[in-house]
Amino acid sequence: MIDSPILREIFRAYDIRGRALGADASLTPDLAMRIAMAFAELIDAAERVVVGGDCRSTTPALQQAAIAGLLDAGLDVVDIGRAPSPLVYWATAQLTQERPTAGMVVTASHNPAEDNGIKLLHTDAMPFSPEEIQAVADRMVSGVRVGLRQGNRSLWSPRADYVQSLAESFPVRRPLRVAIDPGNGVATVTAGPALRSIGCEVIAINDDPEEPDPPHPADPQHADNVAQLAKFVAESGADLGFAFDGDGDRLGLVDGRGRRATPDQVLALLAEDWLERRPRADIHVDVKTSQAVIDHIRDLGGRARFGPVGHSLGKYAMREQGIDFGGEASTHYYYRIDDPPHITDDAVRTACRIAQFVSTNTMEERLDHIPRYRISPEVKIPCPDDRKHAVADRIVADARRAWPVNDIDGARIDLSRESAGAWCLIRASNTTPFLTVVVEARTDREFEQVRAVTADILNGQDLDPSPLLSQRPLD
């Protein structure tokens, strides 16, 4: 075995992710094999591992290398081939009911084509925590071992069973014409079949996973990446449109008029549906969530419960607090489901649920009455990795002297004394050398006031606020 060097920066808060193409690749097949062997030593309860991957050109080699590492470590492997991340979660939860089964996904989600990555799952389909991901790196440094036995590899395609489970859960009540844009990502394998199974006519763009030059990144968090779908919906007469990210766990939404719904609006829409069926429920939101969503949940009789940013941290917060539904500003929407039992951020499942309730009331009617405030996008303020967390901690301490502060993840500072309902968020990015800043108020004038207050806070830490001062609220 070649002993490739380990670059610590690829072991991130939510997964392992780095460049996989070229001479300077930080994630190689050899490294994937060693990651898998280290992973095998850290999941003592597991007897086998479900392995799936996305449709990047580097995925097959990384996926087969990871499988070889698991087999050498003595674990059996269920290879499900090309699969969205939520399908791997579903398969892991399904199989672990028979025999303890962990999971692994080879994907870099919406990252550029030259990148790739690995997601690691426990036997309950919960992701490895940030500390556990670092433990994988530590184990690789100390040396990985070949197991006492060679594992066995089997092939299984869970797609039909997965699609059937959605068909039984979300039948539409009238025929719908639904447009989808998987962004030439791996959601192509489940999105169309699932929506057809619940009774929709599906028309698609960018649904070829072999396309070498996609027209836009598969990242529905950003409006530019949903513009093509919005135009397609308006021109085709579709009832609604869904955009998926690269590994099928995040969802963008377009209504029948061709209007993109913001991630916060989608969360409010889903929360409204959830509270109709589960009155007074708690709903998980992250610290970037618009106050408009929080107010809407409160007005409907529910309670928004703040948690940290990130899909893995959000799932753990939901499990610890006994919450069954939630979402975050990055277009992850979470569900605790019973069959098979696990917490999932499944964009295809979310699309099926939205299609079902749109089949009784048009989405336009629902969206039109959801409030919208003036919120900024996530603004990146450069701050070195070795400084950013200390700076964020100082901001929490200093801000508390003047305002109420939620410190679950950085500082969400309540600025309602400056302007009713206004707030700002300043937190250290988990993956890049930046502080992330979000500002919200109810009017453009109040937005400018709150933005100026936030800039003063940044200036107080010798940080350049100019990226924030030049940023207008989202349309």
Catalytic annotation, residues: 109
Distance CA 415, CA 373 (A): 14
Please count the CA atoms within 13 angstroms of the CA of 443 that sit on its side-chain side.
Answer: 6
Residue from 10, 207, 188 nearest 111 by CA:
10
Cα–Cα dist 368/362, whole Å: 10
Please name which of 457, 359, 357 lies closest in space to residue 400, comparing C-alpha atoms.
457
Task: Report helix, strand or coil for 205.
Answer: coil
Strands (E), 209-250: 240-244
Examine residue 127 and say whether the peptide bond preceding it is cis (omega within 30 degrees of 0).
no
- Give the separation between CA 341 and CA 124, rounded to whole angstroms: 8
Structure tokens at 49: 């591992």
Q: Which amino acid does the sequence have at 446?
A: E
Q: Are 302 and 271 in contact (CB under 8 A)?
A: yes
What does the alpha-carbon distance between residue 390 and residue 384 come to, in Å, rounded to a whole number?
Answer: 10
Instruction: Give me 89's structure tokens.
Output: 């979660």
Strands, DSSP E only, in 107-194?
115-121, 153-155, 176-181
Cβ burial of 5 (10 Å; 0-12, 13-18, 19+) is exposed
